Amino acid sequence: MAPTRNNASKTTSKKTASKKTTNIRVNKKIAKAPLPPIDLNKLFPPWGSEEAKNQTANKEATDITVAIYHDINAYCELERLAGENVYGCLETFSNLRTFTEGFMEREITGYMSCMQSFEAEHGEFQSVTPNSRFLQFVTALGWKMFAICSHTESFRRGIKEADDRAWGCLLQKIHENFLSIELYSHNRTLKWRDILWIYQNYPIPGLPDMKLEIETYMNWKVDHPHHTVITLDGKLKEPSYNGQLQKHINESIYDPKKWSGQKQDPTLRHKANGTPTNVGRQCVRCGSPVSCACRLETRAGELIELREYSGTGTGVRALTRFRRGDILDIFMGELLPDIVENVYPLTQNDDKNNTTTTTTTTTVNSLCTICPHQFGNWTRFISHSCRPATQFMTRTIGNRVVCTVEVIRDILPFEEITVGYGDRYWTALDYDCLCGHCDGSGSE
């Protein structure tokens, strides 16, 4: 595999040379970025100091923000299952919706009653009320964001339980991720307006016009979350390759027509008649030496977003914590017999090699090429880094051999997810690595 971007220049920088040396790799290297000195007092501030308190508050606010994404996703998924009449889901979803509506009602009526009491006593409006966090949030971030966050248990608890320092950090983090949270709820069709309808015709003094926000719709179609990229300038775009949308798929595509009529998917462990193909080894999940029904159960793709990064283009941003050893997902695309381009596909090896899958064009026991040009999943957008957070691994899962993306160091919330393309990728191509951790050679 190579940089999964709209074009290679987004992740790598083509070296400039005269026509006589176009195919010769330039020997001059980019100066390696020096490592900043480690300030232990900053990492571990003295107990009870302002720095320590700020660090604790920031972590608490980060945890709440991460939980907001998780709760939105869970709420919308539960609503979908309730709509499909899955046993037990309708009652559970009804209870969640009741909690959400009750929270909104308490915040609004509590604010109004405090305001009216103050007016009755002093004859004027006073914006500082016992539930002034509600006023502070709606004034700063609007009714829409408050309604979105009200659907999450993490926010409902945070507004009540967080101390003032953590609350201030939370407001800042929600502000920084405003478009991200808005898009996240939009693509999952969160019906945030439902808890505001009954209040829209009742002006609330001291707060923005609710009706205006209710009647304003996001100028972006509801689509698969991985069909949208947040750009550096805060806009939205579709990921594309050669002018075509890069569509999301849940399984790699095998087309016999592109294999000269060969009907058997080369990554399968058994043929349709049950005959073994001598591909793969024991299933990594259950240990079965023969084909089984195991699948990779992962929801990592629900807690990431596509975001544009300076110098490298479209990348993947984590919306939660991922731990070392987590298998995030399977690298997917069209399964092809030959390399179609030097800067895109990833070679799928047989699991019997038991080696790390790297971005090379030729390898022993190669089964096929996984090409994510037009069809693939979010893993194709992971950028290279010489200090990667993940690696490609060849695994046998269920009835096939696949390439997985696995975490090799803990990934923090809102960190870019990166992977190492492999040394041979950079030696084979006339490109400079722009990860910032090397001298341009693609290796530290």
390-397 vs 400-407, strand pairing mode: antiparallel
List, for residues 203-238, the tens digit of each pLDDT value.
888 899 999 999 999 989 999 999 999 999 999 999
pLDDT at 119: 55
Segment (H or E) for 309: strand 304-309
The fraction of the chain above a pLDDT of 70, given in percent, is 80
**Domains present along the chain, CATH in parentheses:** 45-222 (no CATH), 230-433 (2.170.270.10)
User: Are the C-beta atoms of residues 418 and 382 closer than 8 Å to each other?
Assistant: yes
Tokens of 178: 């405003």
Q: What DSSP element (H or E) covers 348?
A: strand 346-349
What are 1-19's pLDDT values in tens digits?
444 333 333 334 333 333 2
Q: For residue 364, how far is the Cα from the chain centroid?
A: 33
User: What does pTM read for this prediction?
Assistant: 0.85
Cα→Cα distances 342→90, 336, 338, 425, Å = 50, 14, 11, 9
